[in-house]
Amino acid sequence: MSDSTPTHLRKVALIGGTGNLGSHFLSALLAAGNHSITVLTRPSSTATFPPAVTVTKVDYDSDASIQDALRGHDVLIITLPAQAPPDQHPRIVAAAAKVGVKYIVPNYYGYALSTRTAWAPSDTALGNFERFVDDARSAEKDGVKWIALVCGFWYEFSIGMGEPWAGFDIAGRRVTLLDEGRKKVNVSTWELCGKAMAKVLSLPIEKTNGGGLALQDWDNEGLYISSFLVSQREILDSLHRVLGTSDEDWTIRYQPGRERDAEGMKELGEGKMTGFAKALYAKIFEEGGRGDYETGQGIDNEKLGLEKEELDVATKRAVAMVEGGFGYRG
């Protein structure tokens, strides 16, 4: 790296700064204090942000508008809602490549990438989530690098949304355990996701003579993090500790994972959002499934100096969210 080449990424553009995940990225980046941050919002947005954040209104139907908003930024973090138009992500990536953005964090926040494991989440009926990484890969020819955050399911979201997701209805004290409820999967809190993003984007772009960590260690690869490798049974036990309950206070149902998967796919075919959740979570929790990437591929928590989290603390946050009205109300 020449003397005139920047050693760190400084200018960050964030799409989705008000969302559950995006807001945690923003908070962690602001706390780290190593970047200037621009949040891209729609023209109709009335969201407010801290004074240190630059807010740029963008017409996502206009490639020129997206390019103007991204010009001059070093890195783009994309967080999009599930209902975003299918052509939006590739158009955003193409716009970033066009104006010379150096790094992209695509809208992929899930399980192991096919570069580290034989499985890629490509069930077409559920949506091929790795298409977001494919979009980023397509920009490599333009000199763009990407880092995908492999974080598993979001913990508080998963147990707080309702029974069709990870099986838990906290308010109703009901749970559906898949098979015996003992299959462990990797999950992450939103807080950990934010801290991991701030940590990795604060690293030098390339290694110096002394070695050490650098952003290039994750060039065109997944950044693997996890708060907990945990089973449904362990989550239920954590809920008992937080709520002061026992199994006798809950309605506990057991369901084969494959049956749950098929049930979800049937509901999805009927246009029910809950079917999507059931099938997606069942596929991850199935015996021999895809949810434990820590054992096979390892995680990067220790490398980044991420502190170990307490399961019950995260569970308590999820309970508070539910008590505050969080969850699916369809």
Domain with 85 in it: what CATH number? Answer: 3.40.50.720
Task: Note whether residue 328 is domain-resident.
Answer: no
pLDDT score for 288: 60
Report the pLDDT value the prediction gives residue 243, as an integer from 0 to 100. 99
pLDDT at 113: 80
- What pLDDT shows up at residue 2? 47
What pLDDT is attached to residue 1? Answer: 47
pLDDT, mean of each 10-residue run, the chain (330 residues): 72 98 99 98 96 98 98 98 92 99 97 56 56 95 98 98 98 98 97 99 91 94 97 99 99 97 95 93 80 93 98 99 94
> Which of 224, 239, 271 marks a domain boundary?
224
pLDDT number for residue 200: 99
Shared domain for 160 and 109, answered yes or no, is no
Are 15 and 132 within 8 A, CB to CB?
no
Q: Which residue has the tokens 């400084």?
A: 10
> In this predicted structure, what is the pLDDT of residue 314?
99
- C-alpha closest to that of 170 among 226, 242, 228, 230: 242
Q: What's the token pair of residue 305?
A: 């100096």
pTM of the model: 0.94
Give the number of other CB atoms < 10 A from CB of residue 101: 25
In this structure, is residue 6 part of a structural domain? no
pLDDT of residue 156: 98
What's the confidence (pLDDT) of residue 222?
Answer: 95
Q: Which residue has the tokens 């355990």?
A: 177
Our count of domains for the chain comes to 2
Same domain, 49 and 88: yes
Q: Give yes or no: residues 115 and 199 share one domain.
A: yes
CATH number, residue 245: 3.90.25.10
Q: Is the same domain home to 96 and 175?
A: no
Are residues 100 and 159 both part of a single domain? no
Do 200 and 138 lie in one domain? The reply is: yes
Residues 85 and 169 in one domain: no
5 inside domain = no
Distance, CA of 186 to CA of 110 (rounded, Å): 10
Domain that holds residue 269: 154-185+228-295+304-323
Written as six digits, the tokens of 271 are 């246009």
The Cα–Cα gap between 252 and 173 comes to 9
Amino acid type, 107 = N
Backbone phi, then psi, for 109, in 5-degree steps? -135, 85
**pLDDT score recorded for residue 64:** 98
Beta strands in 152-300 (DSSP E): 153-154, 168-169, 174-178, 185-188, 221-224, 228-230, 251-255
- Domain-embedded: residue 137: yes
- 141 and 251 assigned to the same domain: no
Q: Is 286 helix (H, G, I), strand (E, B) or coil?
A: coil
What is the C-alpha to C-alpha distance for residues 296 and 35, in angstroms, rounded to an integer?
Answer: 34
